[in-house]
Structure 1
């Protein structure tokens, strides 16, 4: 709400407020996905 009062539009408030708050979650999910993906590559080798 404070960003709207200061004149920020929807995209700017998402990029400067919401995205920095969810970026650690996105990074964690990306790393976890890559780890699980590499586990599938070892299955045919066993």
Structure 2
């Protein structure tokens, strides 16, 4: 979905439409980390959504 805030907003927008229509029960967030960075932020964002 992208890096930083842009990726978070894009993921949230896409998921909100699907979840509102009761489509799916599992979510996956894909946020591009900083070069050499950890992917832990993906898990944190998914939990917050």
Indicate the structure whose relative CO is greater, using CA pairs within 8 Å and at least 6 residues apart. 2
Q: TM-score, normalization: structure 2?
A: 0.36
Larger of the two Rg values belongs to structure: 1
